[in-house]
């Protein structure tokens, strides 16, 4: 506990110096609005695109998260994304909110006696596959990793996509799905699907505790019918004191954490640290989710400072180097890296890092006096070592 308490002031300085004055005087806009004339549905489809922070300044490619009923679900998804990226639970992603003017037609897989004009799910799938996804790939830097989120009828469509077009999306967040549709037609389709279609899929199902009993049982039966195949990761949750219309926020939040759970450093890497294992994890994470994928700053800092306490300065420098790469506008990132270099006897590297900290602190992003003292101390040490 005392160790954690000693770190809290340092982390507070890191965060406050990094976020001060960010975006001052600018309007906050969470998405751009587009329309697409669809030959598949015969309609003009409206969709929103929210780009991650730093998109314009980077050359990275990004995963894409598609959310149905985007006019209702985009804003809370963007908020969850911001929190989870900042805390290292998911990579920066492009978010696409799709507006549907006829949910029953677009999202239902079949017509029924009660809804004879439904059954357009296959046409809507073709719209996604042949029109929207290619249009996004042309306009934005996407890396091919795709997630689909759907609620209620949208959850029914997500289930249809999973069963009938599993190649289209890598992962699914399915919220209170209307699996009662047409006497649970999707359950029957699932039971007839080749189990190998679900290899390496990541699925999260969520529903509110106060949702209907039938909805919960239908979702349970669907999940239980999923085959046990290699790499399939399924998680489900029932949220206390939440109903049908309030469940999407929590389901989306925890669903994203589940889907991208391999972002986080494993307990094994933390307990039995080796630089090779750490760097291999970081490399794999960026190859899968894009060059901007990273742990939270506190994850890197806690780990590196623990290594400093163990006097493993070279290992601490490896972690601090990654932290400085990922959070290069934080003066403390470079200051801590300088400390690791200095302790490891790499004085020239330490001086460069301290000078970078001074540069950023001069822009109002750190404690300038402390950093100047470090520069002076290391310069004197380098001069002394150079004396005959």
Q: pLDDT by residue (tens digit) across 344-367?
A: 999 999 999 999 999 999 887 567
Of 15 and 337, which is predicted with more confidence? 337
pLDDT confidence of residue 25:
64
* 231 torsion bin: left (phi>0), alpha (psi -120 to 50), beta (else): left
Q: Give a three-class secondary structure readout of 259-295.
A: HCHHHCCCHHHHHCCCHHHHHHHHHHHHHHHCCCCCC
Name the burial class of residue 171, with classes exposed (0-12), middle (13-18) and buried (19+) by CB atoms within 10 angstroms of its CB.
buried
Locate 65 and state its tokens: 């998260």
The answer to whether 31-263 and 267-386 have equal CATH topology is no
Mean pLDDT of 38-42: 95
pTM over 0.75: yes
Q: In what order do the strands lie in the sheet with 32-37?
A: 32-37, 44-50, 94-98, 62-68, 142-151, 171-175, 202-208, 233-239
* Domain 267-386, CATH number (from 1.20.120.1200, 1.25.40.10, 3.30.450.70, 1.10.599.10): 1.25.40.10
CA atoms of 164 and 192, how far apart (whole Å)? 10
Computed over every residue of the chain, the mean pLDDT equals: 92
Beta partners for 235?
Answer: 204
Mean pLDDT of 293-320: 96
Q: Residue 291: pLDDT above 80?
A: yes
- So where are the chain's domains? 31-263, 267-386
3-class secondary structure, 169: coil
Locate 254 and state its tokens: 């925890």
- Please provide the CATH number assigned to the domain covering 31-263: 3.40.50.1820
pLDDT in tens, 97-148: 999 989 999 999 999 888 899 999 999 999 999 999 999 999 999 999 999 9
pLDDT confidence of residue 226:
97
Q: Residue 210: pLDDT above 50?
A: yes
Q: Are 158 and 148 in contact (CB under 8 A)?
A: yes
What percent of the chain is predicted at pLDDT more than 70? Answer: 93
CA atoms of 348 and 346, how far apart (whole Å)? 6
* pLDDT tier for residue 18 given thresholds of 50, 70 and 90: very low
CA atoms of 129 and 387, how far apart (whole Å)? 69
pLDDT confidence of residue 5:
38
Nearest alpha carbon to residue 88 among 305, 308, 283, 282: 282
Q: Residue 40: pLDDT above 50?
A: yes
Dmax (CA) of the chain: 95
Determine the straight-line distance between the first and last CA of the chain, rounded to whole angstroms: 47
Of 138-147, 184-193, 263-272, the poorest mean pLDDT is in 263-272
Strands 94-98 and 44-50, bridge-based pairing: antiparallel
pLDDT confidence of residue 366:
61
pLDDT confidence of residue 28:
79
pLDDT confidence of residue 80:
98
Residues with Cβ < 8 Å from 343, sequence gap 6 or more? 308, 311, 313, 316
């Amino acid at each position: 506990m005392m160790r954690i308490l000693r770190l809290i002031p340092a982390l507070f300085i890191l965060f406050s110096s990094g976020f001060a004055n960010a975006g001052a005087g600018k309007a906050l806009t969470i998405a751009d609005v587009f329309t697409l004339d669809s030959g598949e549905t015969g309609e003009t489809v409206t969709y929103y695109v929210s780009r991650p922070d730093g998109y314009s300044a980077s050359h990275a490619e990004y995963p894409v998260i598609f959310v149905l009923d985007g006019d209702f679900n985009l804003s809370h998804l963007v908020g969850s994304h911001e929190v989870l990226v900042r805390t290292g639970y998911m990579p920066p992603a492009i978010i696409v909110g799709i507006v549907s003017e006829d949910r029953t037609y677009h999202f239902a897989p079949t017509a029924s006696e009660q809804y004879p004009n439904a059954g357009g799910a296959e046409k809507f799938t073709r719209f996604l596959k042949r029109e929207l996804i290619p249009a996004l790939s042309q306009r934005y830097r996407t890396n091919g990793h795709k997630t689909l989120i759907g609620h209620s009828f949208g959850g029914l469509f997500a289930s249809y996509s999973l069963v009938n077009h599993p190649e289209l999306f890598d992962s699914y967040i399915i919220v209170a799905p209307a699996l009662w549709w047409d006497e649970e037609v999707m359950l029957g389709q699932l039971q007839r699907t080749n189990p190998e279609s679900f290899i390496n899929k990541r699925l999260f199902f969520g529903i509110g505790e106060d949702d209907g009993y039938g909805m919960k049982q239908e979702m349970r039966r669907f999940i239980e019918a999923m085959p046990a195949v290699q790499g399939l990761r399924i998680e489900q949750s029932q949220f206390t004191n939440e109903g049908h219309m309030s469940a999407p926020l929590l389901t989306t939040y925890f669903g994203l954490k589940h889907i991208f759970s391999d972002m986080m450093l494993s307990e094994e890497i933390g307990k039995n640290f080796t630089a090779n294992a750490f760097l291999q994890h970081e490399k794999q994470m960026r190859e899968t989710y894009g060059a901007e994928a990273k742990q939270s700053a506190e994850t890197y800092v806690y780990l590196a400072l623990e290594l400093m306490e163990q006097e493993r300065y070279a290992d601490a420098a490896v972690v601090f180097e990654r932290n400085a790469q990922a959070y290069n506008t934080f003066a403390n990132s470079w200051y801590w890296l300088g400390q690791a270099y200095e302790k490891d006897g790499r004085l020239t590297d330490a001086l460069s890092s301290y000078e970078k900290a001074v540069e950023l602190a001069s822009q109002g992003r750190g404690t300038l006096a402390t950093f100047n003292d470090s520069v002076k101390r290391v310069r004197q040490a380098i001069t002394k070592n150079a004396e005959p």
